Amino acid sequence: MPSAIRYYRLYTAFFLCCLPLYSAQATTLADQLQINLSNEVQIAVNNGVKLVFDCNYSEHQSLWLTSRHEKRHHHQFELQRHSLSNRYVVRRDDLETQRIFRSMSEASAYISTQAILLYEFYHKQGDTDSVRITLNKYDLPGPMRLGSFLTGSWSVDSGWAPK
Amino acid sequence: MRIRELIKTATGPIYVISACTFVLFVLSFLIIKSLSEESAGQLQYWTMLFGSAGVALLIFLLIASCYSLYRQYVRNEIGSRLTVKLVGIFLFLTVIPFSLIYFFSIQFLNQGVDSWFDVRVEQAVQDARLLGQTSLEGIKDEITVDVETYAKNLPETSDASQLLRTLREIRELGDFTEVALYQDDGTVVAFSKKESSQMLPDTPGDEVFTALRISQTYTSLEPITKNTQQFRVVVPIVAQALERNFYGLQAIKLLPLRYATLASSVETALNQYDQILFARGPLKFTLILTLTLISLASLLFSILTAVYLSKRLVAPISNLAAGTRKIAAGDYGTSLPVSSNDELGILTDSFNDMSQKIEEAQQVASLSQKETEQQKGYLEAVLTNLSSGVFVFNREGYLEICNSAAVDILGISTLDSLGKNDLELSQQYTQLKQFFNLVGEGIRSAAPEWQDESTVLGAHGRQMLIVRGTLLHTASPNQQNNDQTSINHVVVFDDVTGLIQAQRDAAWGEVARRLAHEIKNPLTPIQLSAERIRIKLGDHVSGESRETLDRSTRTIVQQVEAMKEMVDAFSSYAQPVRAQLQPLDLNQLIKDLLELHATSLQSIELNIELQDDVPQIKANASALRQVLNNLIINACHALEGQNEPRLRICTGLASKIAGRYVDVIIEDSGCGIPTDIRESLFDPYVSSKAKGSGLGLAIVKRIVEEHSGSVWARDGEQGGTAMHIRLPINAMETYRGNRNQNTLHSDSS
């Protein structure tokens, strides 16, 4: 037990020491939730592949030396190219309407903005203090799943924010 | 223990392989299922993960098996080389077909996937895309023309209500869902919507106002929902009215349902085709990777099964080889487990039978050997305790067996005698030359049985041996042909000296007794009668008759006395020498006798050579005194009338013979032994003297022989006769069967 306490104190001290550095590097929530798609992913989107982004809202819980995120809410955003109009369409799972964007970056920025708005909404409710955006590889077309598992270019994960 | 046995059984190779087979099939099924279903993303992920883990496990097991096999091969364990050969064969039979199938599968897969994407189909899709886009562009152009016309005809007014009415009219004329007027900064001036429930217009994006500022018309086709699309046309208006310079007239019109449905269908198809086209490469990769995974798993499974089956197949052979080595090392009775009913099981069963029979034969042989050893020990005990001497000569005539009785009787050395033939033995033991010559003659005669007598000077004196020989046919174990037998010569000899002596004693004693009884008895009455006649008739006759009577009766009495003496002398000669051998100083005895005969030896030149190293001998002192006395007297009688009478008496140890003997030589310079009696000199009643009983030398001979010695006469160096007596130092008790063979071994003094 004394060794565990010593370890916890060291961890806390290390964290506090790194906090200034961390704080200096701390970015806004928008920066953290910014979606950066690799060239391979962009090419896939331009070739009709639909991307599904999972937005998970959780409450961070600490238990002694461990911590976990208790998921509270979940939303999905679909990003797909409309070939006839050469536009990028973003759909939210709980809305029937969709947003159209001329560029993929605008579409991905919209997703981030929506995720932040929803986070603020849930955060005000008091049961959410973290949000995370990830690309759902399981919803990719079958032939592309294996490649997405094996390569890192398909890894889109903002991590739990704010950090 | 039962749980452990269950676990051990459950983790046995056959069960592991069966489980691997089942897992392989399930894995293949899951992979195919995950590839075919769009909603099986997580299934595909976990399936590939477990599949990869399974392949890694199989690789690990294969490496472990190969390493184990390699170590067995290096240590040259039984069965390892055959296992390696079988594994190599299985690998050859597995890898090559697998490789061919895998290569051609890859080729077929690539060609198959590529065949899905026909150039004509792709062209048709592109044409459909272009057709759709063109038709939609046409509709958009028409709408654009109308909106531009409406924009040109838009009156310049500052009345908001009028502006609203104008916009409503435009909307109704053009069947737009919305008409709105914007300033260049994006501010809504006025709008009219078909849906009165919507309070705000559909504000365009920044790109619209960017186009307005450069006086360009903005047109776009915007999908609203999956099956709904709208045209957005924003036309720049340059007006100086309303206190603004730039405006934009936006008109939004829904694509007709018919066109929308078709457009949506086309869009969906285009998306799917684009997706498929784009996924061709990943599809190939996925399929190839899945094929590789399954092929690798199958190949590894086959190789592991090959290794296991090889080991299982070789196990009985290894057991047989190990069992053979054990039997060769002497571990008979090795039993191997029979684990199958095939030819290997039959071979193992046969091996067990052979091993059991070898063990039984070995036990029988061991028993036979024990019996043989017992028989041999019995034979050796019999030979050792046999009173007869036994020689066994092999077919080449060399001595192979010599029992202790033979050693004792002849006084030879076993170590120095074994391996020699009769000639060598006769040369080695000169005192036994006659005996070994006799044996050699018997052997060379090849008679099945022969018998003879031989007199030798053994370790304990003169011995008379009865020698019997016979041929012994035995089966030789060294002969390749079991029918051949070796011929050995068995020579058995007994020392019958004592027996003969006892027989002689008995015969002489009987003769003496009969003589004493038959002859001596009538002598007394004859003598008495003669004396009575003389007494009775002596007074009645006179003169010449009286003289005749006296002379006759005197003659009768004298002759009767003489006959009595003769009978007494013979009785004395026939009387056996009683035992009671005592240590006797022979030199002293001779000195005593010389002193006794000093008077008669005064005129004789004496040469006395008594060796000091002559030890005491075991003898009957009175008997030897009689012997020496007789010989001295005979010598004195032979020297009577000689000009230079000389008498030589010497003693010394006998040499060049086995055993320990003392020689006594009494040599005179007399006239020697007459040739007519030389052969029978020692027989009774043989004499060269006019007087005497003729029993003197016979008695001498008898006494000397009773002492196990020997006496002979030869011509002396001085011209006379030399009487040679040889006496053993340790004479045995030979009187009437007192001889005991066992005392030969203990008689070492």
As for the ipTM of the complex, it is: 0.72
> Cβ of B35 under 8 Å from any chain A Cβ?
yes
Give dist(CA A29, CA B22) in Å, integer. Answer: 50
For residues B44 and B35, is the Cβ–Cβ distance under 8 A? yes
| B553 burial type by CB count under 10 A (0-12 exposed, 13-18 middle, 19+ buried) | buried
More reliable by pLDDT, B481 or B358: B358
Q: What are phi and psi of B719, to 5 degrees?
A: 100, -15
Give dist(CA B494, CA B475) in Å, integer. Answer: 28
For residues B94 and B299, is the Cβ–Cβ distance under 8 A? yes
The residue behind tokens 């029978």 is B680
Give dist(CA B57, CA B17) in Å, integer. Answer: 13
What does DSSP say about strands B246-254 and B229-238: parallel, antiparallel, or unpaired?
antiparallel
Mutate to test the interface with A, among B209, B275, B293 (most CBs of A within 10 A): B275
Residue in chain A nearest B132 by alpha carbon: A84
* Residues B27-38: tens digit of each pLDDT: 777 766 666 655
* Residues B412-441: tens digit of each pLDDT: 888 889 999 999 999 988 888 889 999 999
Lowest mean pLDDT among A147-151, B75-79, B237-241, B325-329: B237-241
For residues B492 and B388, is the Cβ–Cβ distance under 8 A? yes
In sequence order, the β-bridge partners of residue B392 are B401, B490
DSSP state of A70: E
Work out the pLDDT band at B737, boundaries 50, 70, 90: very low
What does DSSP say about strands B485-495 and B389-393: parallel, antiparallel, or unpaired?
antiparallel
In what order do the strands lie in the sheet containing B605-610? B605-610, B646-653, B661-668, B721-728, B710-715
pLDDT of residue B739: 37
Residue B680 has pLDDT above 50, yes or no: yes
pLDDT of residue B664: 93
Average pLDDT over residues B669-697: 76
Give dist(CA B574, CA B699) in Å, integer. Answer: 8
Residue B658 has pLDDT above 60, yes or no: no
Q: What are phi and psi of B650, to 5 degrees?
A: -140, 150
For residue A47, give how far its alpha carbon lies from the nearest alpha carbon of chain B (Å): 5
* Residues B196-230: tens digit of each pLDDT: 777 788 888 777 888 877 888 888 888 887 778 88
Average pLDDT over residues B470-494: 72
3-state secondary structure of A140: coil
pLDDT more than 90, % of chain B? 13
Alpha-helical regions (H) of B386-432: 404-410, 414-417, 422-428
| Residues of A with Cβ-Cβ distance to B33 under 8 angstroms | none
| Residues of A with Cβ-Cβ distance to B280 under 8 angstroms | 143
Please, what is the end-to-end C-alpha distance for chain B in angstroms? 79
Could B282 and A146 be called an inter-chain contact, meaning their C-beta atoms sit closer than 8 Å? yes
Work out the pLDDT band at B743, boundaries 50, 70, 90: very low
Give dist(CA A121, CA A128) in Å, integer. Answer: 9
Angle at B35 between CA B33 and CA B38, to 5 degrees: 95
Tell which residue, B175, B167, B137, B162, has the closest CA to residue B151. Answer: B167
For residues A131 and A160, is the Cβ–Cβ distance under 8 A? yes
Average pLDDT over residues B267-274: 84
| B359 burial type by CB count under 10 A (0-12 exposed, 13-18 middle, 19+ buried) | middle
pLDDT of residue B718: 74
Average pLDDT over residues B654-663: 69
For residue B276, give how far its alpha carbon lies from the nearest alpha carbon of chain A (Å): 9
Work out the pLDDT band at B749, boundaries 50, 70, 90: very low
pLDDT of residue A27: 67
Could A147 and B275 be called an inter-chain contact, meaning their C-beta atoms sit closer than 8 Å? no
| B484 burial type by CB count under 10 A (0-12 exposed, 13-18 middle, 19+ buried) | exposed
Six token digits for residue B222: 């915007």
- Cα maximum dimension of chain B: 245
pLDDT of residue B610: 93
Q: What are phi and psi of B385, to 5 degrees?
A: -90, 0
Give dist(CA B233, CA B109) in Å, integer. Answer: 49
pLDDT of residue A13: 54
More reliable by pLDDT, A84 or B669: B669
* Residues B79-105: tens digit of each pLDDT: 888 889 988 998 898 889 889 999 999
Tell which residue, B487, B494, B489, B476, has the closest CA to residue B399. Answer: B489
Work out the pLDDT band at B747, boundaries 50, 70, 90: very low
3-state secondary structure of B647: strand
> Cβ of B313 under 8 Å from any chain A Cβ?
no
For residue B122, give how far its alpha carbon lies from the nearest alpha carbon of chain A (Å): 13
Work out the pLDDT band at B576, boundaries 50, 70, 90: low
| Residues of B with Cβ-Cβ distance to A82 under 8 angstroms | 223, 267
For residues B167 and B179, is the Cβ–Cβ distance under 8 A? yes
Six token digits for residue B106: 């890859």
Mutate to test the interface with A, among B116, B221, B262, B265 (most CBs of A within 10 A): B221
Could B225 and A96 be called an inter-chain contact, meaning their C-beta atoms sit closer than 8 Å? yes
For residues A111 and A35, is the Cβ–Cβ distance under 8 A? yes
* Residues B487-505: tens digit of each pLDDT: 789 999 998 877 876 777 6
More reliable by pLDDT, B609 or A2: B609
How far, CA to CA in Å, does B650 sit from each of B506, B585, B654?
35, 14, 12
Which among B48, B263, B279 has the least Cβ separation from residue A143?
A: B279
More reliable by pLDDT, B408 or A57: A57
Q: Of A84-93, B3-12, B13-22, give the range with the top mean pLDDT.
A: A84-93
Which among A84, A101, A102 has the least Cβ separation from residue B221?
A: A84
For residues A154 and B282, is the Cβ–Cβ distance under 8 A? no
| Mean pLDDT for all residues in chain B | 81
The residue behind tokens 């109704």 is B172
> Cβ of B749 under 8 Å from any chain A Cβ?
no
Work out the pLDDT band at B518, boundaries 50, 70, 90: confident
- Residue B422: Cβ within 10 Å count: 25
Give dist(CA B324, CA B336) in Å, integer. Answer: 10
- Residue B223: Cβ within 10 Å count: 23
Which among A98, A146, A149 has the least Cβ separation from residue B225?
A: A98
Work out the pLDDT band at B334, boundaries 50, 70, 90: confident
pLDDT of residue B591: 92
Residue B125 has pLDDT above 90, yes or no: no
pLDDT more than 90, % of chain A? 37
